[in-house]
Amino acid sequence: MDNLQSELYIPDADLNDETSEDESCHTSVKQAGLLLVYPIKGTKMCKESGFHKTTRLCLQAIRDAILHHRWQEAVQYLDVYTQTLEDTTVAKQSVACEIIWRLGTEVLQHHPKKELEHFNVLYERMKNTGVKNFAKICLEHAFHLLLNGQIHNAKQQLSVAMSWRYGKHSASQGLELKLIHGYCGFLDYLLWSSKRQAFSDTEDCGNNHEMHSHFRQASMTLQEIIKQPGVWDPFVYGCVDMLEFYNDEEEALKLLQNYAYNDEFPSNPNAHIYLYKHQLRHNASPAQLIKTLKVLHSLVPSHELMLEYCTLLIKSGQKKNLKHALSVAMNLLEHACWKTDMKAWTCLLCVLSSIKKRKKLKKLIKEEWQHRKDLWLKMHFKTFHSRKDSEALMSVKVKVLLCVGLYNTRYSMKYYKDQKKMTAQQDIK
């Protein structure tokens, strides 16, 4: 909201010349039913016209109403503030247009009596007033229509934006049009998806001409966009969904691999998640699944798929994979969101049990715990943990202690005794 801050900022000037003007301005606008914010006494302000002073004070009132969630009051102030669109200064008019656009959508979004038509009126007026923001306003308008289930109207808005040009073609305009072009393809995918759902299971929707037309348009547009470096998650998802529907598994896999492993693309965990789920659907080998999840682990070691990663590593039976599984499981439990998760603790216990079955690998447990012991005893096995943990979780944690051979330490013995005491109380009941 840099424009809002700049509009509220008033440089130094002589206060005495402005005091009477502020009072008269406040009186005239107060009669119109507006509550205005006075300038702070003792500050110096520059000369400004009564019109600019009124709009500035009105903007302060809008800001105050929004901050205190007085949405109906904010609408009244915005109605008065739209007078700034008649400003003869082009710079101020441009700034005012963006402020009305940003604040107007925020106020309408929270207004108790909002209707879709109110948004349409606001967006259309802003598009015709602030031509520099035409493409961005069209895109936002399309999003709003999409949220209200009006896919065809949203597509129409984007089609209009695609044909828009203003002045000399700039780099920023090129980026905006590229994004709009991508969402045109995505809306074609949504139309294709809605047609697919409309058909019954008995109909051969794969041969439907209208569906295939949407597929062709969406596929061409989305694949063109996806080839360019960037984060295109919804576009990739839609494109893969269509390719799989038409049994073009090879093309879908090629697209996902490029999205995940192309060095020109930014690092993106979702790219590897999409690839893994595709491989899973098409019965990829365990080695391929492990390779994909290994990269995901390096990016997001706390992701829920790490539980599946550990399972795959255990099933492989290889020494290096068992060692890595132990590290992955313990890393997971060092994140706050997993500290009391039963699945994560069960996964760790499963890894430890698998290693202990192979006597030659027992030293792996000792090596891994050697540099984690102090942290883990304080993080998971203090007295207050035993008070908060469920009986089932305590039982698993005690088994973990027994597996790693740390049951004779001060922290673990206390936790172990608390667990035994709780179990005894449960038996009495």
* Averaged pLDDT, 61-81: 90
> Residue with structure tokens 């073609």?
169
Residue 361: predicted pLDDT? 80
Please tell me what DSSP assigns to residue 39. P
pTM for the full predicted model: 0.77
DSSP H helices in 201-318: 209-226, 233-245, 249-261, 269-281, 286-299, 306-316
- Distance, CA of 426 to CA of 429 (rounded, Å): 5
403, 356 Cβ separation under 8 angstroms = yes
| Spatial contact of 391 and 427, defined as CB atoms under 8 Å apart | no
Percent of the chain whose pLDDT exceeds 90: 40
> In whole angstroms, what is the distance from residue 203 CA to residue 210 CA?
14
Q: pLDDT value at position 168?
A: 63
Q: Say yes or no to pLDDT of 325 above 60.
A: yes
d(CA 48, CA 11): 11
Q: Does residue 266 contact residue 233 with C-beta atoms inside 8 Å?
A: no
Distance in angstroms (rounded) separating the CA atoms of residues 273 and 297: 11
Residue-level pLDDT at 114: 83
pLDDT of residue 31: 40
- Across the range 401-428, mean pLDDT stands at 60
User: What pLDDT, on a 0 to 100 scale, did the predictor assign at position 170?
Assistant: 61
Q: Per-residue pLDDT averaged across 68-88, rounded?
A: 84
Record the tokens describing residue 379, joined without a space: 């993080």
Rounded mean pLDDT, 222-241: 94
User: What's the confidence (pLDDT) of residue 414?
Assistant: 62
Model confidence over 336-354: pLDDT tens digits? Answer: 999 999 999 999 999 999 9
Query: Which pair of structure tokens corresponds to residue 71?
Result: 């949405």
Q: Does residue 137 have a pLDDT over 50?
A: yes
Q: Is the pLDDT of residue 428 over 70?
A: no
Distances (CA, A) of 379 to 39, 350, 365, 390: 54, 20, 18, 16
Indicate whether 194 pLDDT > 80.
yes
Contact 416, 407 (CB under 8 A): yes
DSSP 231-251: --HHHHHHHHHHHHHTT-HHH
Each residue's pLDDT tens digit, 156-181:
999 888 887 666 656 667 788 888 99
* d(C-alpha 340, C-alpha 31), whole Å: 61
Query: If you average pLDDT over residues 16-33, what whole number do you get?
Result: 42
Average pLDDT, the chain: 81
Does residue 198 register a pLDDT over 80? no
Give the pLDDT mean for 386-409.
79
Judge whether residue 94 has pLDDT over 70: yes
More confident residue, 6 or 369: 369
Q: In the predicted model, is pLDDT for residue 290 greater than 60?
A: yes
pLDDT of 28 higher than 80: no
> Percentage of residues in the chain with pLDDT exceeding 70?
78
Q: Does pLDDT of 51 surpass 90?
A: no
